[in-house]
A and B are shown apart, each in its own frame.
Chain A
């Protein structure tokens, strides 16, 4: 194998694929990236056996071939090369080492044969549809903060993505919850998605896709089966296994009769929560909201450090009430709001509260109160 590639293109691709590679691996080959040079391009593939990321970049290929080399080290080397440099990758005569030459710098890396690299089985993907990168990004961004870290309820460790029909509207909906808060974000159903199975996309996959979406605004093609999902960007294909579990019936925990409505200016509310919670401890970050008339008092009291309070003018017509929330959870939600105002639908201080993003009916959040 012998190929020459522009440093920045190689760096970008390596940056993508090395992110899939775990820092610690008991199986040596999983630390490596598979390099495949042919037909005027270089293919880079990395996997952790759950996710496989393949990227193709243009390259001058003098001699086709393939080899695997340590992903993080290769990335580190290329990162430290000067901007605009050309990088030559080649294997030595015996094929045992990868030689990297750029200007006067040269490196020889240990390799493992390409035959050892575990390829992810290519299943049949019965459902395929495309959506705008921006739409997919919105689904992910607004829900992923609620993904649970709890290992025993593994089926909560991802975003529940499913197609449904609601009020005559065909929707593609993303839901995540950790039991304390729940995020439900939807969009008009892309053509071809109606028959997709309900799937749980694991957190790591969600994060990788999110990173790729930050660079690519164009269309993304999705292919879905019962066990795998495949995201195809222009040069990158990410295939991931899905979480094999049953997502809880979230519709039953979304309250329907919360009749006390509080409308706040989203930005000043978020700032106020942030302000008063400066005094709260890591352990119990409860912010107490006291509602009376058009006034909202926010207060935090921390026996170790003192107390804080703030006040906001709000729209609230129901009877006076106090309710407490975890400050971080509140800020996680307010951080997702795009509209100028946020609406809270409350029942009582012990029941779940709904938070809506201004006029946007496509995003809904449910938050459990805390005792204060």
Chain B
């Protein structure tokens, strides 16, 4: 492939499209002298770009996600450096931007982080909550396009091309509105990168975090990439970087000036990819994740466990969580899967096919409990570091958990669980719990 995708810069006459990041209004405004405020709302947060109206591949990344969620839920933390982490492993999972000023960064050992920033408030991670918030963000993205490809809990690609008619404006405007909606309704900030492919969109979202909105147009693709160190290219890790360094290649501009076939010869298929990425070419499509094949929840213990009673407690909590997710998605599963990780990192799964699909915590728990008992009987004395339970072989919830002629109490338990679900729905998840969950 040649560099034909890169068009020469449009002749910017004297005007350029500008979007206001506060009110979302788009205007064609004079370039010289530059307009500093939105003509409609007088906001200075203007985003100007020649290709503003045409680009449609976006990358959304939540800013200091875990820390932002914790700050949202506890206003006392708002102006304090917050570090999410701790637990047994003792490394920084996320830190807020205040903590970053002190030089704290993620994956830093906790003692080192606290040495750099003694005033930091350390909050243990609450993955359940983050998953919930991350899901809410994703839902808002999915409200705009089904072409959402999650990368992780707090970032995702979106393909907004062709949605102009649907959303009554170009993708840039749709994104501005999305950012506002996330800020207002969820209470966290995100950064957006908008470009013409995934690789560049992801680079763009990182340009002026937090609360960033950056655009890399086709026109400046080459010049933007030229100054970047090669390590910023997708797929170039430390080893590859060292290899390139040995060959005297440090900056993307050097790759841009090299022949594609030459690079391919030197670094095989990776070389070919380097040549293309260096020129800002990335043909990967945005593919929404395939529908779930299973729904599961798992937990890693703080200390390895050997006793059944404690494991069973965890199992109940996880069964409830799995059931809750099934109910939320109106899905039921015909197979129960128990997952265990022993201390030596050996994973083990056990499956059990049910006569009827279920979405009840009661059934998930009873079934997985029997499997757990069997496993622990077969391998007594093993200590476990992780337990998970899930349902697979998914079907729609209609017709799940029908009356079982061989289990007269099943309908009673089903009714009880449904009554509990109703209460939770109305008054919150912690309203009611089974005794064994305490």
Contacts and interface: CB of A to CB of B under 8 A. Distances in A.
B232 to A, nearest CB: 50
Contact of A368 (B352, B370, B398, B405): B405
A178 B408 contact: no
Nearest to B396: A371
A150 B354 CA distance: 9
B438 interface: no
B87 interface: no
B119 interface: no
Interface of B, secondary structure class, is loop
B79 interface: no
B367 to A, nearest CB: 8
A152 interface: yes
B378 interface: no
B299 to A, nearest CB: 25
Interface stretch (A207-215, A244-252, A308-316): A244-252
Given A368-B402, A368-B403, A371-B399, A252 B352 contact: no
Given A152-B352, A152-B370, A352 B406 contact: no
Size band of the A side of the interface?
A: 20 to 34
Interface stretch (A179-187, A192-200, A231-239): A179-187
B10 interface: no
B33 interface: no
A313 B113 CA distance: 82
B406 A252 contact: no
B352 A352 contact: no
B398 A179 contact: no
B13 interface: no
B355 A180 contact: yes
A179 B355 contact: yes
B307 interface: no
B370 A253 contact: no
Interface string B365-388: 001001000000000000000000
A252 B404 CA distance: 11
A177 B399 contact: no
Nearest to A156: B406
A250 B403 CA distance: 12
Contacts of B405: 177-182, 250, 253, 352, 366, 368
B407 A371 contact: no
Interface of A: 148, 150, 152-153, 156, 177-182, 248-250, 252-253, 350-352, 366, 368, 370-371
29 contacts: A150-B355, A152-B352, A152-B370, A153-B406, A156-B406, A177-B405, A177-B406, A178-B405, A178-B406, A179-B356, A179-B404, A179-B406, A179-B407, A180-B405, A181-B405, A182-B405, A182-B406, A249-B408, A250-B408, A253-B403, A253-B406, A253-B408, A350-B402, A366-B405, A368-B402, A368-B403, A368-B405, A370-B399, A371-B399
Interface of B: 352, 355-356, 367, 370, 398-399, 402-408
